[in-house]
Amino acid sequence: MKRFLNVSLAGVILTTGLSLTVPAVAQDRRNPDQRNMDQRNQDQRNQRDDQDHRNQDQRDHRNQVQRYHDQRRNVDHDWNDHEQAAYRIWLKNHHRRDMDFSGLNTKDQQNYWNWRHSHSDAKLKLNIR
C-alpha cells in the first residue's frame, strides 16, 4: 500500500510539472509574425511609459517650490509668482540691479523679508488668484 501511494504521488507530481510547461510551449508555437508584432507593441508601451515618467519628473521639477527662511520672524516663505513680482518691485524701489533672490547675501535677503512683511500682495496690487 505504501509503495502504491509513493508511485501515485510521483505520478501526480510529474503530471503537474508537465501540465505547467504546456502553456509555455503552446505560446512558442504562435506565428513568428505575431510574436514579432507582440514584441514591438510591448516595446512601444514601454517607451510610452518611460516618456510618461520623464514628463512627470519634469513637471515635478518645474512645480518644485523654493523655500527661504526669514530669520527675524523664524518663518519659511515659499518662492512663487507673487513673491517674484514683489521682489521685482523691491529691486526697483531700492535701485538694485536685476538678479535672482538666491544671489543676494543673507543681509540683503533679510532686508527684503523685512520690507515684504510690511508690503502685502494687496498693498503692492499684485493679482491674487
74 CB-near residues (< 8 Å, 6+ apart): none
Of residues 21 and 119, more confidence is placed in: 119
Place of cell 520672524: 73
Place of cell 488668484: 129
Residue 63 confidence (pLDDT): 62
Instruction: Place 129 in a pLDDT band, splitting at 50, 70 and 90.
Output: low
Q: Cell numbers at residue 120, please? A: 502685502
Q: Cell numbers at residue 12, please? A: 501526480
pLDDT at 45 over 80: no
Find the mean pLDDT for residues 47-57: 64
Rounded CA separation 11/27 (Å) = 25
Find the mean pLDDT for residues 22-33: 62
CB under 8 A, 24+ apart: contacts of 70-75: 70/110, 70/113, 70/117, 71/110, 72/110, 72/113, 72/114, 73/113, 73/117
99 CB-near residues (< 8 Å, 6+ apart): 91
Residue 20 confidence (pLDDT): 56
Mean pLDDT of the chain: 78
